[in-house]
Chain A
Amino acid sequence: MKLLTHNMLTSKCMKGVSVGYPLAINALDVRVSEVDFNPEFIARMIPKLDWNVLYGAAESIGQLKDLPRDIIENFESNEDFLKKVHHVLMEVDIINGDLICPETGRKFPINNGIPNMLLNEDEV
């Protein structure tokens, strides 16, 4: 699971959960693989992100590198920044671990890079 995906995930569908975002990450196995860098893609992606959540997630798994705390100005033209974002968004892959609902502590296991977000009948 990439952090970009994590940036979209929530547990708000659970019963009793109002926001369920962001999900905490308990990463047991993180794999960093090189992915082709597409500046345009990253630049377009950044506005869609919850930067704080991304930053926190990257920090929680030790992949923050030199990612700035805040989005810099004119990031579209700052290839260095885009590469950092690219690394965090696209190259960091959580293979095994858990996603934890911030409100209920419910754990969503990540196995083989696939987060299992299924809920039990009584959790919906």
Chain B
Amino acid sequence: MPVDERLARSVALEQAYVHDVYEEFYDNPRSKPWVKVEEFLNELEPGSIICDVGCGNGKYLNVNTSIFNIGGEKSNRLSEVAREKENEVIVLDNLALPFRDESLDAVLSIAVVHHLATTERRICALKELARVLRIGGRIIISVWAMEQSHRRFESQDVLVPWRRPRHISTPSLELTSTTTNSEDDGQPAYHAYTQTSDSDSTRSMKSKGSTFRKKGKTRTKGRSIDPGRSSSQSSSSLSSPNETCYSFVRRAIQKLAGSRRVGAHRPWFLESWTNCAKEPQPKKYDLNGCDCCDCMENAQDIPIELRRIDDEELPQRRQTFPSSQLINEIAHLKSRSMTNMKAAEETTASEAENQSNPTVKNNDIPPEELSLPPPKTTLKPKPKLVKQKKSMCEEDADEALDQPTDMENLVHLPELRTSLGRLQRGSVLKQRSLNEELMSTDRMQEKEKLRRNIQKQASLNEDLIYQRSHAFDNFKDSLFYVSTSKRFQLIKTGFTNKFKNSTTNIEKVTGSSLKNGFVRIFQNWKSADLISPTIPEDEPLENLKLPSAPSVDDKKESDGERRPSKEDGSDSSKDSSLQSDTSVDSEDSFASVIFVPKSDPMSPTNFSPGPTSPRLKTSSVPNSPRIKQSSCPTSPRIKQTPLMVYPLTKQQSSPKPSTESLIDKSERDHIIEETVPKDPSKTLVQKYSVPQIPKFIRTSLNTPSTNITPPSPEKPLVPAAPSSLDVETRNERLKKIKELLNQKPELSSKKSKFPIVRQTSVTNGKVEAIAKPLPKLLTLELFNPETDDKDSDSSCVSSPDSVDSVISINRERKSQANLPFKFPATNDKRHAKMSLLEAAADVAHTLDEAVDKVIKSSPRRKAMLKTGDVLSILQRRYSADTTPLLGEECAENWDEDCTKHLTDFADKLSEKLLQEIDQYQVKTRLCNSNYNFDDPYISRLSEELDDLSKLSAEIQKQNEYLSKLSDSDKLLGKKPAKCKPSECECVRTRNVNEVNNAKPSVVDSECSGHRGGGSNHNGEESVRSTSRPCGGSAEGEVGVLSKMSSSTKPTIRLGTSSDSCDSEKGSSTNSMVSSVATSINFGPSIESNDGYSGESHKDTNSMSRHSDGGSTASLNSFPDWKAARRPDSKAESTLSLDSPRRQETKGLISETSEDSLPTDNMGGEITYHRYYHVFREGELDQLIEKYVENLHIISSYYDHASWCIIAEKVHVWTI
């Protein structure tokens, strides 16, 4: 390798893995000056001029004030930090010190030389240090030791992962340090290398040549370093006497890392050294260079790969695999953090168990998702190599911090950090830490899942290798390859097994908390039901009956209570689809999976506020990723990746259409059959037992089906075998649509009724009685969103346990109460039979108002608005109700021109969105002024605002497109137009519901994210705490806005889809396009304007780097979105039944959604890697003796995991 290239590589390596990392260095107040260095400084005579080359934050610049301390640092940021302490600081490079020759009385080089990538450069640095030192001046040099008591390096060139130091107070550290380190640290540093010893060593080197290594071992033994440690580079002694509980984990990781390295790694170092010793210096130098090359290659290859991996596969970075592994192992360790971790995992598992109990397909799916988090942990090991390295690095990193206590800390820290580090925080900062950790873990898991999807095949093998729980493997496999129903079944079985296994564990640990949360949720639901029993009675009973008839799933769900309710609410379509063809099932399964996670995640998110809540979040987050994964496997298409962001949006949008048309089909199928059983006199008990929301949905579906589609009997078949029935379903749909068009007044009235119902219901809980009339399609649609919302709300309610969530819980509860009322209202509305146009107008108004209210409410929330939130929610609903009236009036005029109405509606929405955005911006500004936001956060908000504006623009475009479509529809017939409005209404209603629901949830999630960020930045916590509410509200608003936009988009899509139905061939393609567009829109709305996953990734990454909190917040918000959208996705699945093409699009969407999810995950912590060349014992001494002749080593010792040398500059010729 040419010298130039080598140099360039080394420079690039150092830049990337040393200088760039230190630019991000977080001033660690914990780092204290080493005693030895302090002694060195204090021994200097007054008036000395010294330079600390690599002063970092300048901790050695104030030790001795009787001397003139100059701090030299290459990192601009660190130099600023040191400068702030009124130190004299120079930005310099150790390789080109800007000092005159022999101008300094003393030089410090603490933990610097080991960052240089080649021996050549290390020598150059030492020579440069000696150059500026006056004759008789002293220098102290410390470099990281390869022979460390608590970590073993497979190679001398390592990339050490490094996270921003967290202030982890681990009392146990001392113990470990005493036990393991006592020898090294406790005893006074042995001056292993006086010159005599050095000379001896060199002699021995020369004489024995290749036996250097052996000698090293012997030395180490003699010198109180664990023989096990020093002796084995490649071979780690599994059973070393000194192992601590953590050590075995570390060793395992090292082994994994080492095994790969070992193969390529050879004892080059020894050989090179021996050669060097034998040969004259010039040649030696060259040889060293060659060695360096090897080193470089080793170091570079691995590090570079790591970096790439990190960039591409962020999951690895964030929560390095070691953590995942460690979690399991740590679990055995009896530490609070461990328990916490387990509890969190278990909670998820317990949830899964609870859900799984029903053992219905639907139920099973959710449990799978729930259970996934644990599997993820198991899966994590896959990336082993990198991860292991990271883990190694992490440990090293801790030590690298140059903290005197590092050794001790390191021992504990590596383990704690990897697995529990976050958890420990959690113990300290309980909730925050848990949330963050969970989030991060979830993200990691999601990332891993993505990888798996990409690498599909490998995952299985890896899993086997790691021999994690079999159930997990099954889950993984099933999840990854979910495409087929078979796999689902396998997954189910696996989940059940897992649950059984996990349940035992989970139950032990945190099952109680989860159970409590569930119980609360149920109670909430029940309460809600009680509140609005009248309405539910009629329809819910019917629904209950119907669900039972269509599939055992419903019953099972009901048994499962929580999940069933959740699933039922959104899953009515899902169930049908699932039951239907396997091919369809794949999509359905995705949808269902997605949906299930929603409920779970929603509840967890709601719970999240408390310690339990973080767990829930994690579970929820993992669920979403899982969902993504599941969808991804089914749709590995490349297209999906670009669309990634869209998938979610698509799902939502698709669900909406599905709810509209599909619901008619699928739901009708189920419902129609079931509708017959409708009896207002249904038992309340059934209603209560079964999730109310789902019931409503079903009932509504039933009613619409009965009303609209006589062909419904056929339709039910369709859901079962959508693929075969697709054509039929389409035809049926067309017929239905035609019928609807013919019946327009009725349908419109029905649809309008629904919105009206809402108004009435919202405004008047009393209307419930009126609701008795058969709910129609519209009601169904409305119910779906509401049910979804309710689910989330209920979950939120259950969460009250969690401290953080208390506020959100209250909100949610209130919203829940409102929701039940809404349902009855919807029924009433049905009676009222409003024109579709009116209904659409109403919906639009309600949406707009809701958004406005949300925005308004957000500030309130900021100001501790528990009550205010509730009020705001109520107001929103009321406003929505009131507004619809206005819209109705307008609608009356528009009845004739549905298309016009749609366009107007879209315009209004867009306008309102714009206004809202403006308001939001103003608010954010105010918030900023009021609260000290972190700059990154503000920038992020501004970005979001920009995105929103873009979204609004897109929405307008879509509206235009819709108008065009409506025109075309007119040509075809008014029918499509009607369908569109109905869809729009549905979407709108959903949007409203979503907005209402999403606001609290999003806010909560964001808050949690902020919390996480705060925890990350301990110093900034206070500031963030203030900013959190604002940020959360602001983000929540943004989310709402984005949801609004998304909702509007889906409506647009629906219109297109309906058109496509009308003209199956061409229209289908159109719908596809439209769906894509919508999906794109969503993508931007979620992360940033562009549906450009790549950019979004970057944004998220950058965001995460700039402000961890911000990124986490965004991430948190995403899962919520997902959850909210899941029902939509289900609806989409139903739609997919209607049109296989749509299914494809959906699949794409799902894939894209999966992609987007990982991007979301990206937001987590970033682990930096620092390059180290760890020095063997005596290596530094030899370097100095061989190449820096004018330095005379006075003492050499081992301290703080480092080899330290104190040398004095002498006249060479004098010697």
Interface hits, A96-116 → B, CB 8 Å: 108, 112-116
B1133 to nearest A CB, angstroms? 58
Report the bound CA distance from A41 to B66 in whole Å: 7
Q: Tell me whether B93 and A8 are in contact (CB under 8 A).
A: no
Q: Mark B87-128, 1 if CB is under 8 A from A, else 0.
A: 011111101111111011100000000000000000000000
B11 within 8 A of A: yes
Residue among B45, B80, B100 with the most chain A CB within 10 A?
A: B100
- Contact of B66 with A8 in the complex, beta carbons under 8 Å: no
A 1-47 contacts with B by CB, 8 A: 1-2, 4-5, 8-14, 21, 38, 40-45
Asked if A66 is an interface residue, CB under 8 A from chain B, the answer is no
Q: Which single member of B68, B79, B91, B92 contacts A45 (CB below 8 Å)?
A: B68
Q: Does A119 contact B (CB under 8 A)?
A: yes
* Residues B93 and A114 in contact, CB atoms below 8 Å apart: no
Interchain CA distance A2-B71 in the complex, whole Å: 12
A124 to B96, CA, bound (A): 8
Judge whether B49 is part of the interface by a CB distance below 8 angstroms. yes
Q: From residue A14, how far is it (CB to closest CB) to chain B in Å?
A: 8
B100: which A residues are within 8 A, CB to CB? 8-10, 12, 21
Q: Which residues of B contact A11 (CB under 8 A)?
A: 98
Q: How far is the CA of A112 from the CA of B97 in the complex (A)?
A: 20
* Across-interface contacts of B99 in A (CB, < 8 A): 8-10
Q: Which residues of B contact A112 (CB under 8 A)?
A: 80, 83
Closest to A109 in B: B91
Q: A8-B103, A45-B47 are in contact. Are A1 and B98 (CB under 8 A)?
A: no
Contact in complex: B49, A118 (CB < 8 Å): no
Judge whether B66 and A38 touch: CB under 8 Å.
yes
Interface check A71, CB cutoff 8 A: no
Residues of A within 8 A of B93 (CB): 117-119
How many angstroms from the CA of A11 to the CA of B68 in the assembled complex? Answer: 21
Q: If A4-B68, A13-B96 touch, does A115 touch B49 (CB 8 Å cutoff)?
A: no
CA distance A19 to B100 in the complex (A): 9
Within 8 A of A (CB), among B287-310: none
Chain B 17-47 residues near chain A, CB threshold 8 A? 45-47
Q: Which residues of B contact A1 (CB under 8 A)?
A: 88, 90
Of all chain A residues, the one with the shortest Cβ separation from B74 is: A118
CB A87 to nearest CB in B, in angstroms, measures: 15
Closest-by-CB residue of B relative to A121 is B11
B95 contact set on A, CB distance < 8 A: 124
Q: Is B70 an interface residue (CB 8 A)?
A: yes
Asked if B90 and A48 sit within 8 Å, CB to CB, the answer is no
Q: How far is the CA of A48 from the CA of B103 in the complex (A)?
A: 7
A113: B residues at CB distance < 8 A: 83, 89
Interface residues of A in 32-89 (CB under 8 A from B): 38, 40-45, 48
Give the complex CA separation of A124 and B99 in angstroms. 15
Given contacts A5-B70, A8-B70, A48-B103, contact A115 B46 (CB under 8 A): no
Considering the chains assembled together, what is the distance between the CA atoms of A124 and B8 in angstroms?
13
Cα distance A8–B50 in the bound complex, in angstroms: 11
Q: Are A10 and B98 CB-contacts (below 8 A) given A114-B90, A118-B93?
A: yes
Question: A1-B88, A41-B66, A117-B90 given as contacts; is B80 within 8 A of A8 (CB)?
Answer: no
**A41 x B47 contact (CB < 8 A):** yes
User: What residues on A are CB-neighbors of B91 within 8 Å?
Assistant: 114-118
Contact flag A5-B97 (CB < 8 Å), given A44-B46, A45-B68: no
- CA–CA, A122 and B567, complex, Å: 66
Residue of A nearest to B49 (CB): A48
Q: Could you tell me the distance in whole angstroms from the C-beta of B244 to the nearest C-beta in chain A?
A: 43
The listed residue (B47, B80, B104) touching A44 by CB distance below 8 A is B47
Chain A residue contacts of B89, Cβ below 8 A: 113-114
A11 to chain B, nearest CB (A): 7
The 8 Å CB contact of A117, one of B76, B98, B103, is B98
CB 8 Å contact bits of B1081-1097 with A (1 = contact, 0 = none): 00000000000000000
Task: For residue A33, give the distance in angstroms from its CB to the closest CB of chain B.
Answer: 9
* Cβ contact within 8 Å between B47 and A2: no
Q: How far is the CA of A103 from the CA of B88 in the complex (A)?
A: 25
> Do residues B49 and A45 form an inter-chain contact, with CB atoms below 8 A?
yes
- Decide if A13 touches B98 in the complex (CB within 8 Å): yes
In the complex, chain B residues whose CB is within 8 Å of the CB of A9: 90, 98-100
Known contacts A121-B11, A124-B95; A8 and B88 CB within 8 A of each other: no
Instruction: Tell me the complex Cα distance, A4–B99, Å.
Output: 12
Q: Which of B46, B49, B104, B105 contacts A40 (CB 8 A)?
A: B46
Identify which of B66, B68, B79, B104 gathers the most chain A CB atoms within 10 Å of its CB.
B68
CB neighbours (8 Å) of A117 from chain B are: 90-93, 96, 98
* Cα separation A1 to B72 with both chains bound (whole Å): 12
Closest residue of chain B to A53 (Cβ to Cβ) is B100
Bound form: Cα–Cα A14–B95 in Å = 11
Query: Within the complex, what minimum Cβ distance (angstroms) separates A111 from chain B?
Result: 9
Nearest Cβ on chain A to B105's Cβ, whole angstroms: 8
Chain B residues in 8 Å Cβ range of A40: 46-47
Find the B residue at minimum CB distance from A9: B98
* Minimum distance in angstroms from B582 CB to a CB of chain A: 62
> A4 and B49 in contact (CB under 8 A), knowing A21-B100, A116-B91, A118-B93?
yes
CB neighbours of A38 from chain B (8 A)? 66
Query: Is there contact, CB below 8 Å, between A114 and B79?
Result: yes
B1141 to chain A, nearest CB (A): 57
In the complex formed, the residue of A with least CB distance to B82 is: A114
- Decide: B96 and A119 in contact? CB cutoff 8 A: yes
The answer to whether B90 and A5 touch across the interface, beta carbons within 8 angstroms, is: yes
In the assembled complex, which residues on chain A have CB atoms less than 8 Å from the CB atom of B49? 4, 8, 45, 48
Q: Contacts of A43 on B, CB cut-off 8 Å?
A: 47
Q: Which residues of B contact A115 (CB under 8 A)?
A: 90-91, 98
B71 to A, closest residue via Cβ: A114
Residues of chain A within 8 A of B96, CB atoms compared = 13-14, 117, 119, 124
Which residues from chain B contact A48 at a C-beta distance below 8 Å? 47, 49, 103, 105
Chain B residues in 8 Å Cβ range of A114:
79-80, 83, 89-91
- Interface flags for B303-324 (1: CB within 8 Å of A; 0: not) read 0000000000000000000000
How near does chain B come to A49, taking the closest CB pair, in angstroms? 9
Closest to A42 in B: B47
Chain A: minimal CB distance from B1104 (Å): 28
Residues of A within 8 Å of B74, CB to CB, are 118
Residues of chain A with a CB closer than 8 A to B80's CB:
112, 114
Question: Quick one: which of B45, B98, B101 has the most chain A CB within 10 A?
Answer: B98
Nearest B residue (CB) for A117: B98
B719 to chain A, nearest CB (A): 67
Please, which residues of chain B bring their CB within 8 A of the CB of A2?
A: 88
- Which residues of B are found within 8 Å of A10, using beta-carbon distances? 98-100
The complex places the Cα of A10 from the Cα of B97 at a distance, in Å, of 9
Within 8 A of A (CB), among B61-84: 66, 68, 70, 74, 76, 79-80, 83
Q: A5-B70, A8-B99, A113-B83 are in contact. Are A118 and B92 (CB under 8 A)?
A: yes
CA distance A115 to B98 in the complex (A): 10
Q: How far is the CA of A8 from the CA of B105 in the complex (A)?
A: 11
Query: CB-CB < 8 A to B47: which residues of A?
Result: 40-45, 48
Return the CB mask of B46-63 against A: 1 if under 8 Å, else 0.
111100000000000000
How far, in Å, is B983 (CB) from chain A's closest CB?
A: 60
Chain B: minimal CB distance from A90 (Å) = 9
Minimum CB–CB distance for B308 against chain A, Å: 24
Question: Which residue of the partner chain B has the closest CB to A44?
Answer: B47
List of A residues within 8 angstroms of B105 by Cβ: 48
List 9 other contacts, CB 8 Å, given A21-B100, A114-B89: A8-B100, A12-B100, A45-B68, A48-B105, A114-B79, A115-B90, A116-B76, A117-B92, A117-B96
Q: List 21 A-B contacts (CB under 8 A).
A: A1-B88, A5-B70, A5-B90, A8-B99, A13-B96, A40-B46, A40-B47, A41-B47, A44-B47, A44-B48, A45-B68, A48-B105, A108-B98, A112-B83, A114-B79, A115-B90, A117-B90, A117-B91, A118-B91, A121-B11, A124-B96
Binding site for B on A (CB under 8 A): 1-2, 4-5, 8-14, 21, 38, 40-45, 48, 108, 112-119, 121, 124
